[in-house]
């Protein structure tokens, strides 16, 4: 398979690129369009299928979404429209695109890429990949095998969901400086440490590009490392899922 299209749907933007699933290498520059609002199934299918026709006609498409997804069906939609719940988004996209399509949770996609090609490559034991963006996504791996749909951004920490206290969106909305934001993240990381005892925590999402500015302020008994693939991780992982190149 020469290339596949990876698509990473977020609450505010949709990232995409053609990917070589055998190496994790982007074949085209990472592109982005705005996520349609309110982001129901019809709008997302239209946006993604149109994108596929323009950017990568005749390629299979992997789609990462900020949702719990089981066998192509959406079960949660915290940062998208609630009407998505119950939709077989994978079947709808296959019908609209006319190519093979695989859908999975966005943090799981980013995690697959980081475990296969990125910061956690070769790491055994328990690895947690956390993506900080509109919410907090989580991907849990044990000896390289994914435990899907963990959704630990919704873990209650100090009386509130973790992502309501420490997402990148919250940092922006409250105009928090790095020390202020990191104190919130550290409370969340302490809960992750106590419950899962990971050997490594990979800090992902767009904010990982600024890790040099805040990484030293984070605390964990686990090794803390920035995502190596940065904002492209979800795109690469989505491509891996549709091509069968998972770890």
**Which fold is adopted by the domain 121-228?**
Nucleotidyltransferase; domain 5 (3.30.420)
The whole-number pLDDT of residue 231 equals 87
Asked whether the predicted pLDDT for residue 2 surpasses 90, the reply is: no
Q: Mean pLDDT, to the nearest integer, of 229-240?
A: 94
The whole-number pLDDT of residue 148 equals 97
Q: Mean pLDDT, to the nearest integer, of 141-154?
A: 96
Alpha helix segments (H runs only) across 71-219: 89-97, 106-116, 162-166, 168-173, 178-196, 211-214
| Of residues 41, 50, 39, 30, the one with CA closest to residue 10 | 39
Q: Mean pLDDT, to the nearest integer, of 69-80?
A: 94
Cα separations in angstroms, 115 against 4, 76, 123: 19, 25, 8
Average pLDDT, the chain: 95
Report pLDDT digits (tens) over 180-233.
999 999 999 999 999 999 999 999 998 999 999 999 999 999 999 999 998 899
Q: Mean pLDDT, to the nearest integer, of 102-110?
A: 97
The whole-number pLDDT of residue 78 equals 82
In terms of CATH architecture, what is 4-108+232-243?
Answer: 2-Layer Sandwich (3.30)
* pLDDT band of 15, cuts 50, 70, 90: very high
Q: Where are the domains of the chain?
A: 4-108+232-243, 121-228
The whole-number pLDDT of residue 11 equals 85
Rounded to the nearest 10 degrees, the angle between the axes of helix 89-97 and helix 41-55 is 40
- For 87-111, give one letter per residue: b (16+ CB within 10 A) or e: bbbbebbbebbebbbbbbbbbbbbb
- Same fold? 4-108+232-243, 121-228: yes
| Of residues 236, 220, 241, the one with CA closest to residue 16 | 236
Size of the chain, expressed as the number of residues it contains:
247
The whole-number pLDDT of residue 45 equals 97
* pLDDT band of 247, cuts 50, 70, 90: low
Q: Mean pLDDT, to the nearest integer, of 153-175?
A: 95
CA pair distance 120, 191, nearest whole angstrom: 21
């Amino acid at each position: 398979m020469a290339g596949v299209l990876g698509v990473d749907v977020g609450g505010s933007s949709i990232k995409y690129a053609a990917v070589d699933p055998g190496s994790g290498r982007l074949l085209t520059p990472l592109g982005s369009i705005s996520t349609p609002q309110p982001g129901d199934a019809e709008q997302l299918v239209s946006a993604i299928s149109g994108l596929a026709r323009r950017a990568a006609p005749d390629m299979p498409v992997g789609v990462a979404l900020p949702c719990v997804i089981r066998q192509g069906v959406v079960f949660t939609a915290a940062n998208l429209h609630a009407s998505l719940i119950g939709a077989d988004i994978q079947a709808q996209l296959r019908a609209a695109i006319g190519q093979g399509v695989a859908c999975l949770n966005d943090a799981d996609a980013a995690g697959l890429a980081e475990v296969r090609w990125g910061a956690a490559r070769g790491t055994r034991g328990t690895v947690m990949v956390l993506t900080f963006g509109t919410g907090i996504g989580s991907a849990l791996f044990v000896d390289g095998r994914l435990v899907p749909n963990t959704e630990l951004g919704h873990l209650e920490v100090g009386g509130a969901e973790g992502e309501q206290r420490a997402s990148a969106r919250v940092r922006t909305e409250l105009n928090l400086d790095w020390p202020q934001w990191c104190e919130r993240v550290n409370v969340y990381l302490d809960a992750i440490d106590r419950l899962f005892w990971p050997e490594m925590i990979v800090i992902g999402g767009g904010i990982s590009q600024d890790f040099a500015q805040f990484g030293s302020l984070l605390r964990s008994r686990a090794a803390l490392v920035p995502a190596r693939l940065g904002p492209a991780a979800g795109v690469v992982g989505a491509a891996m899922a549709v091509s069968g190149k998972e770890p």
